[in-house]
Structure 1
Amino acid sequence: MVDPVVSVEGTAYPWGAKNVDTDVIIPAHWLKTISREGMGKGAFETVRAQPGNLFDDPRYAGSPILIAGENFGCGSSREHAAWALGDLGVKVVIAPSFSDIFSGNAVKNGIVPVVLPQEAVDRLVEVARDNPVTVDLETMTVTTPYQDRFAFTLDPFRRMCLMQGLDEIGLTLAQDTAISNFESGMARSRPWIERRSGHAGIAVGSSGRT
């Protein structure tokens, strides 16, 4: 399960960088772990190695929103990129376009991928340097204190998953009753299937033949 995301308001990293690949988001040597915890320490490691970088600037540290350029999340399919962003505290990434795989991984990890035209992204980068930004999934808008209002679209199923905090495990658990009813019905209507599966191992173990 992931935390539900309905509305996110706060400071935003006014980055705007284009073609940010997953190796920039989280370098390969961080991929040895299977835990999401602590991945934020490696997020944008090469960028943060530079003096005066945006991600270690006290004005933006811990921002829940990241504003980036086109083709964000390109490169490998590593889900660790979404893990790293989430552990860094990012709940929303705004960009003109995303890698399809990254976009899917982001939603599975409770991160909203907001697609806006380049002109809107440029405006948000400018405003976010000194002002908060609000992303609302109920109204499907990005707004600023200067009355900027940018509408975006999101696949209805992905929007539902984000707002209800459902990842793939959560979606499966939500169908627990239906799955149990189906299995019970199968056991009653086709009992021979369960009997065969139950005795298959004995047959092989006794004679060595199937």
Structure 2
Amino acid sequence: MNGALLKHGLSIDELYGLYGETDFDDVEKLLERDRELYAEPVDAALEMVGVDLADRAISYAVDVGMLDAGIATNLEKKEPTPQDVATIENTDLIISTGCVGYVTEKSLERLLEPSLDSRPWMAHFVLRMFDFGASEEMLSRHGYVTEKVEGLFRQRRFASSTERQHVLDNLDRLAIDATDAEETGWYLAELHVARPEEVAKSMPLADVLGPSRA
């Protein structure tokens, strides 16, 4: 999805329209449609690499051109393979959306280490019921400063009342107020931006994000 949004300029609404009611039984027809759809990216210079345990999803996204490459190694349990390292080294930006909590600082460090020379920035959208502290400490050891952007970001709607109650119970145990927030039916995330210390000092995050976020 990030490849479709960033490399190909599609919107979330367009993605829902494309895949919300798609007949996934006819895979060949879907492949043909998507190969044509993603044949000419809006930003051809942007190279997108996906990291996910779902190897079939990675393969599909690479096959149709949503992604330029992908790795499906379980970085929580294994070091990246030499091929993985060649794929992800010298990265400029590492982004995650809703995976922190299932993915720990161990995976993030294994993604970061092949690119320490390029000093990539990071942007992690972390659900409020998960703590980013261990990852922040790991990044600090590598000379990074992590800043939390003010405000909350919608992740997705709860799939059921059971899921909603599970999240509200977790937040209550953490003494996090869900009033006018998760109670409205949404997973909400906080954005943690991590940058090399020298960059964070010379380029205030408010200047990067602009007045609307400042």
Higher RCO, 1 vs 2 (CA within 8 Å, ≥6 residues apart): 1
- Give the alignment's TM-score, normalised by structure 1: 0.28
Larger radius of gyration: 1
Tell me which protein shows more strand as a share of its residues.
Answer: 2
- Give the alignment's TM-score, normalised by structure 2: 0.27
